[in-house]
Amino acid sequence: MKRYSFPHSGSALALPLASRRRFVQGLAAGGVLLGGAASLAERAWSQNGDTATGSAPVLRGTEFDLVIAELPVNFTGTARVATTINGSIPAPTLYWREGDTVTIRVTNRLAEATSIHWHGILLPFQMDGVPGISFPGIAPGETFTYRFRVQQSGTYWYHSHSGMQEQTGMYGAIVIEPADGETIRANRDYVVQLSDWTDDDPMRVLAKLKIQGDVFNLNQPTVIDFFRDVSRDGLRSAIDKRQMWNQMRMSPTDLADLSAYTLTYLMNGVTPAGNWTALFRPGERVRLRFINGAGNTFYDVRIPGLKLTVVQADGVDVEPVTVDEFRFGPGETYDVLVEPSQDAHTIFAQAMDRTGYARGTLASRPGLVAPVPVLDPVQWLTMADMMGGMDHGDGGMASDMQHGNHGAPMDHGAAPGHGTSMSHGAGMNHGAAMNHAAHGQDSRAPATARVRHASTEYGASTDMRVDMARTNLDDPGVGLRDTGRRVLTLADLHTIGGPIDPRGPEREVELHLTGNMERYTWSFDGLEFGRSTPVRFRYGERLRVILHNDTMMSHPMHMHGMWSELESPEGRFQVRRHTIPVQPAQRISFLVTADALGRWAWHCHLLFHMDMGMFREVIVA
């Protein structure tokens, strides 16, 4: 009889829960240690006349001086060294005005090179701040001057694009006032920047993942789960369920690479115990500018007892949509309006794997708190999450596994390492899945799309391929289904004013998001960054970009320098984004106008995924 695996309790990397649980909420006064002040959380700054404890310093105008250095911090009871900008975590919030030209002098006081990337900002590629792509980086002791004209408005952020500096504290918010004045009316306006902190050296954390990809998974299926399944579904069904997951060498609870074992979840640089607080007066409308500045955490955000009216996504106005909750990954931003109805409301942001949370409070006066919800139960990945469509007559085993039948390799019409670049219909066979015509025409697609794979996907860097990808945008994702709460989905988002370019696509570029959890490698089309060649766009062309997620994890995909205009499954314009989350076994498509000459980065915004290879260069020429 086959043996069935349960948690790695006998592994040398097994994790004791008690020590981590002790610090899961951090220190009430945790943060940057500044010359005798206990922490950043004990300081207060003013944002537009509004008071919030622990918010970052604010800098306004067109001339800025930023200094990058190391400082001691203590979030959990253990002193560590962080990478800071102007001595704070988060870095100062920069207030710009659309149409202005800003000059930012960045001085590096580290012993290693550094950089700042202006996330989602349209600018010349030389100012984009990606070492090795757009500039050489900022050497120790040097000052680099960024200068560019601000061409947009809304909520954005900035962070290091060097090594693991983003994970060690180097991130901050950007708020850009529209040239014609703000149209979204609110009495109070607060930045809420979420992040994650680890006391461990990020490179040591990465080394553990390379040894055992699920080492930080606190939610492995247990014997108790097995007997629960037996009681509910019967012995044969429970055994079949375990056998299926074991045969695939995967876990149905593998929702995140990192967990509360190694992470402390922060809101504006404040631990859950520190309770970041923003004040309001009864009857006021409050604008909350949510930024996910985490290195490796998807957050599910809600304010129990309040409806959230989403008015911006990634800095762009959308048709207002009212929800109870939204999920967003690293790199994404959402602006919401709320109208507090009580003296205190908890802002609750739980990690997608349900091992911990960040939290703060909206309060009518200092010191008030509201109940903090318990973490939601962990939901297992479904077969649709793992394998997409279930309708090809193979008992639901839609995934083309490494040890199974590979099928016929796909002829990309390009050399290995290039993006799948082709005119529509050339070099690829979607079957009945997709036959997009010119933009604006009725080009329907079914709920799943049959795909074929690049020849480069059949190597050691890929342990899973999805043959029937889901195309729906109305799924809130694992953990948020059937909660009884109204959860935002991509299908709910509609950019006001439509697309920036009315043209239809001239050609398509298709890439698969791939990985191997046992090796902990991540890639496009089975090729890590060092093995790939650039994806090339012709200057001025309009393209359709198709991404297939052949992995069991969600990936927030960020293309620098250009807007990504997400399409509905039917090929209609949906929403303009700079970072698009792609769920497991999902296929999404978006249009891009290649209006930015130069060299650009395109990557997953989960920091360890990017570092391990899910990164490509885009050249517009």
Residues in Cβ contact with 345 at an 8 Å cutoff, skipping those fewer than 6 apart: 303, 304, 305, 306, 338, 361, 362, 363, 370
pLDDT at 422 over 50: no
Secondary structure of residue 300 in the 3-state scheme: strand
Q: 469 or 130: whose pLDDT is higher? A: 130
CA angle 223, 259, 194 (to 5 degrees): 145
Chain centroid offset of residue 474 CA: 18
pLDDT at 93 over 90: yes
Among the listed residues 383, 387, 326, 328, the one whose alpha carbon sits nearest the alpha carbon of residue 586: 387
- pLDDT band at residue 25 using 50, 70 and 90 as cut-offs: confident
Among the listed residues 242, 551, 268, 617, the one whose alpha carbon sits nearest the alpha carbon of residue 418: 617
- pLDDT number for residue 460: 85
The token pair that represents 153 in the structure block: 């408005």
- pLDDT number for residue 217: 65
Q: Which residues pair with 292 in a beta bridge?
A: 194
- pLDDT number for residue 30: 85
C-beta atoms surrounding 388 within 10 Å: 29
Query: Using CA atoms, how far apart are residues 208 and 6, in angstroms rounded to an integer?
Result: 20
The DSSP code sequence of 460-491 is: TT-S--BSEEE--S----TTSTTSSS-B--GG
C-beta atoms surrounding 570 within 10 Å: 12
- pLDDT number for residue 238: 58
SS (H, E, C) 410-455: ECCCCCCCCCEEECCCCCCCCCCCCCCCCCCCCCCCCCEEECCCEH
- The chain-wide mean pLDDT, for the chain, equals 83
296-345: pLDDT as tens digits: 999 999 999 999 999 999 999 999 999 999 999 999 999 999 999 999 99
Q: 401 or 343: whose pLDDT is higher? A: 343
- pLDDT number for residue 592: 98
Query: Using CA atoms, how far apart are residues 607 and 293, in angstroms rounded to an integer?
Result: 11
C-beta atoms surrounding 199 within 10 Å: 17
Q: What is the fold of 383-620?
A: Immunoglobulin-like (2.60.40)
Which of the residue ranges 65-69, 415-419, 485-489 would you say has the lowest mean pLDDT?
A: 415-419
- pLDDT number for residue 452: 75
Based on its alpha-carbon atoms, the radius of gyration of the chain, rounded to whole angstroms, reads 23
220-277: pLDDT as tens digits: 655 555 556 656 776 766 566 666 655 555 666 667 899 999 999 999 999 999 999 9
Secondary structure of residue 230 in the 3-state scheme: helix
For residue 354, what are the CA distances in angstroms to 143, 376, 435, 467? 42, 6, 39, 30
pLDDT at 450 over 70: no
Query: Using CA atoms, how far apart are residues 104 and 124, in angstroms rounded to an integer?
Result: 14
Q: Identify the helix (H) or strand (E) that includes residue 242.
A: helix 235-248
The β-bridge relationship of strands 308-313 and 316-323 is antiparallel
Beta strands in 117-206 (DSSP E): 117-119, 143-149, 154-159, 171-177, 188-197
Structural domain boundaries of the chain?
22-182, 383-620
Which of the residue ranges 77-86, 283-292, 409-418 would you say has the lowest mean pLDDT?
A: 409-418
DSSP state of 582: E
- pLDDT number for residue 212: 72
- pLDDT number for residue 265: 97
- pLDDT number for residue 570: 94
Residue 420's identity, in one-letter code, is: T
Query: Using CA atoms, how far apart are residues 124 and 165, in angstroms rounded to an integer?
Result: 23
Average pLDDT value for residue range 395-424: 33
Which of the residue ranges 96-105, 445-454, 473-482 would you say has the lowest mean pLDDT?
A: 445-454
**CATH for the 22-182 domain, from 2.60.40.420, 3.40.50.300, 3.40.50.1100, 2.40.160.40:** 2.60.40.420
Domains 22-182 and 383-620 share a fold: yes
Average pLDDT value for residue range 462-480: 91
Which of the residue ranges 75-89, 90-104, 224-238, 488-502 would you say has the lowest mean pLDDT?
A: 224-238
DSSP state of 135: B
Q: Which residues pair with 603 in a beta bridge?
A: 558, 615
- pLDDT number for residue 51: 60
Q: Identify the helix (H) or strand (E) that includes residue 530.
A: none
598-609: pLDDT as tens digits: 999 999 999 999
Average pLDDT value for residue range 187-209: 95
Query: Using CA atoms, how far apart are residues 266 and 130, in angstroms rounded to an integer?
Result: 26
Which of the residue ranges 64-73, 356-365, 452-461, 552-561 would you say has the lowest mean pLDDT?
A: 452-461
pLDDT at 615 over 70: yes
pTM of the model: 0.84
- pLDDT band at residue 518 using 50, 70 and 90 as cut-offs: confident
